[in-house]
Amino acid sequence: MATPDTPAVDMVDMVDMVDLDRYPVLDPSLSGFESVVALARSQLTGTGMVELPGFLRPAGIEAMVADADALAPRAHHSAGEGTAYLEYPDFSLADGHPRLTWGRYAVGAVPYDLMPQLSLLRRLYEWEPLRVLVEAILDRGSLYRYSDPFGALNLAVMHEDDELQWHFDQTDFVVSLAIQTADDGGYFEVHPRIRTAQDEHYDEVAEALSGNRDGVVTVPMVAGTLLVFEGRNSLHRVSPVGSGSPRHVGLLAYDTAPDTVGSTLLRQDRYGRSEPFGSPPEDWPVG
């Protein structure tokens, strides 16, 4: 099986997908690349998130939407309730504690091992200039693509009534690509840096979970935008999706440590199975 760090096919057509005039990622020595990185790092320091609008050209967006439409029927849908901390709760805590406050999630996900080698989303993820750009923006040292055959790359598919509850990420950062916004709802909403590593700020989190929207930032996930988001200390959610077109977002997984994989429990819950396919299909099987 091709690993996440071993591109499976020629990536040359990525230069037609990405706006290289705006984001000159092919040569990190260029002043234009350095300017993009400097501005992005400033955003990250200020808000904990970086938006790179128009990362894909219009033709690239159109092609990526078609790719997502082809991938979406392969999504495994999971739903249930969870807390903002994405952990098994401590039921000895008092009623109303944020760690005992539940919210609904419902989302579909197409895992990496189901993405054909010709998938444009897969090819973009495996494109080395993208990894180099994200590594430069985060400035955390070497950055590696996930080795997990499920979680390295996902297409998140959200239809009517799907949503993600308010939560904190268990990873330091997430990289996502907006491919298609929902016709109604599906907004990415954030309470930036509502807690710190030193203080959980449970009172503020409890107010946010009860519906207080003071300080909420809505991030416009416009198609073609690349987003780098530090979500460990920022409470965030995807609001319920209404009728009409589904919400499609690519989730690109990186880590500062090599050989990162997810747990068997996570695989079973998110993808409905724990054993990956031995090799990705060149295209969808017939029948």
Bigger pLDDT: 159 vs 282: 159
Q: How far is CA 22 from CA 3, 31, 36, 128, 148, in A?
A: 30, 12, 8, 18, 32
Q: Which helix (H) or strand (E) element contains residue 41?
A: helix 31-47
d(CA 287, CA 285): 6
The CA R_g of the chain, rounded to the nearest whole Å, is 19
Q: Which amino acid is at 270?
A: R
Dump pLDDT digits (tens) for 155-204: 999 999 999 999 999 899 999 999 999 999 999 999 999 999 999 999 99
Neighbours of 43 (CB within 10 A): 15
pLDDT at 213 over 70: yes
Alpha-carbon dihedral 20, 143, 111, 17, rounded to 10 degrees: 0
- 89-99: average pLDDT: 94
pLDDT of residue 13: 84
Q: Which tokens hold the place of 165?
A: 């509850």
Residue 217 identity (one-letter amino acid): V
* pLDDT higher than threshold 80 for residue 282: no
The mean pLDDT value for 65-92 works out to: 94
Per residue in 31-52, pLDDT (tens digit) is 999 999 999 999 999 999 999 9
Q: Whole-prediction pTM value?
A: 0.92
Residue 283: pLDDT band with limits 50, 70, 90: low
Extents of the domains making up the chain: 14-271
Q: What's the rounded Cα separation, in Å, for the pair 155 and 173?
A: 17
What pLDDT is stored for residue 215 in this prediction? 95
Task: Reply yes or no on whether the pLDDT at 98 is more than 50.
Answer: yes
Reference 190, options 149, 234, 134, 141; nearest CA is: 234
- Classify domain 14-271 by CATH number: 2.60.120.620
Nearest CA to 255 out of 188, 173, 182 is that of: 173
- Taking only the tens place, the pLDDT of each residue in 112-152 is 999 998 899 999 999 999 999 999 999 999 999 999 999 99
